[in-house]
Amino acid sequence: MLDVRRMKVLREVATRGSFSAAAEALNFTQSAVSQHIAALEREAGTQLVDRGSRGVRLTEAGRVLVDHADAILARIDCAEEDLAAIAGLRGGRLRLTCFQSAGATLAPRAVAAFHERHPRVELGMVVAEPDEAADRLRAGEADVAIVYDHESTPGLLPPELELTELIDDRYDVIVPSGHPLADRRRLSLADFAEEPWIASTRGCGCRRVTDTVCREAGFEPRVAFEADETLAAQALVAAGVGVTMLPRLALTSIHPGVVPRPLRDAPVRKVLAARTAGAYRSPASTAMVQILQDVSEDFRGTRLALAAS
């Protein structure tokens, strides 16, 4: 394989017309230049330079190689410039994956803040449940994922992910505005044991959370309708055909015909930023994780609880 550094020496010899002038330009000894050219000729398997009393000139093979060297070294210069731009967040790209309710709350705020600070980094986003997001991270199709986890969903997130906590996201029960329990101050899941339920489909992590915590409260939820879209679930509740339970990140937009109510035994899921453990940490992904942490502060405590008030 041809050595790029030696090709650079050959190009300098061709430009300067002698080994001594090339050595001075490169800050080499003349002997070092000669050794580099000899080694390059061995790699190329042919003579590249005619050495004469009046200096040196390229052979036909040498001229061909210098032409290629110009192109190769120009591409290397471009590559170094691109790498410097990525390191300085003046270029490159970042691929973000997030689950549905984070895609309507945390992600847009984070994307806007990132774009304002680093406008030359190309951004992309895909909505996916945590298990699919983990697959995308492992396949190199995403750089950062916003995921959630709950003790009722073991194995949802593989152990090879590096996780950064963002917020704790509490679930509320959602009842029609005229429901007999809509005004009761203290509620628990057992109060809804006889109600028909609207739940996510079985492929969704939220469904596993709902099924598990209802069983822990002493009943099997009677699922009458399945809806993964949170607004569709709220609309069904407003129609009076059942109750549901939704995390507060999904309640920034509340249907006028429903009332979110807090539960004493409400499940709480952890919302996290995920990257593949041990993988390369691009400056862009590190910047995005920090921005997600900053943005999450606005969704903590009382501000997030306003959605359930």
Q: What is the CATH number of the domain that holds 35?
A: 1.10.10.10
Give average pLDDT by consecutive 10-residue segment, the chain, 309 residues. 82 84 84 86 86 78 82 72 64 89 93 91 92 89 93 78 94 94 91 96 86 94 94 96 94 92 93 89 89 89 43
Q: How far apart are CA 210 and CA 191, in angstroms?
A: 15
Positive or negative CA dihedral for 37, 66, 81, 278?
A: negative
The tally of domains found in the chain comes to 3
Q: How far apart are CA 159 and CA 268, in angstroms?
A: 21
Claim to verify: residue 27 and residue 78 sit in the same structural domain = yes
Q: Which of 56, 87, 118 is a domain's end point? A: 87
pLDDT at 302: 40
Claim to verify: residue 176 and residue 249 sit in the same structural domain = yes
Q: What is the CATH number of the domain that holds 120?
A: 3.40.190.10
Claim to verify: residue 124 and residue 189 sit in the same structural domain = no
Domain with 297 in it: 94-167+277-308
Claim to verify: residue 68 and residue 107 sit in the same structural domain = no
pLDDT at 179: 94
pLDDT at 93: 85
5-56: pLDDT as tens digits: 888 888 888 888 888 888 888 888 888 888 888 888 888 888 888 887 667 8
Q: How far apart are CA 245 and CA 237, in angstroms?
A: 10
235-256: pLDDT as tens digits: 999 999 999 999 999 998 899 9
Claim to verify: residue 253 and residue 297 sit in the same structural domain = no
Claim to verify: residue 293 and residue 154 sit in the same structural domain = yes
Claim to verify: residue 28 and residue 173 sit in the same structural domain = no
Q: Which of 71, 87, 103 is a domain's end point? A: 87
First to last CA, the chain: 69
Per-chain mean pLDDT for the chain:
86
Claim to verify: residue 281 and residue 295 sit in the same structural domain = yes
pTM above 0.75, yes or no: no
For residue 108, the SS3 value is helix
Burial (Cβ within 10 Å: 0-12, 13-18, ≥19) of residue 24: middle
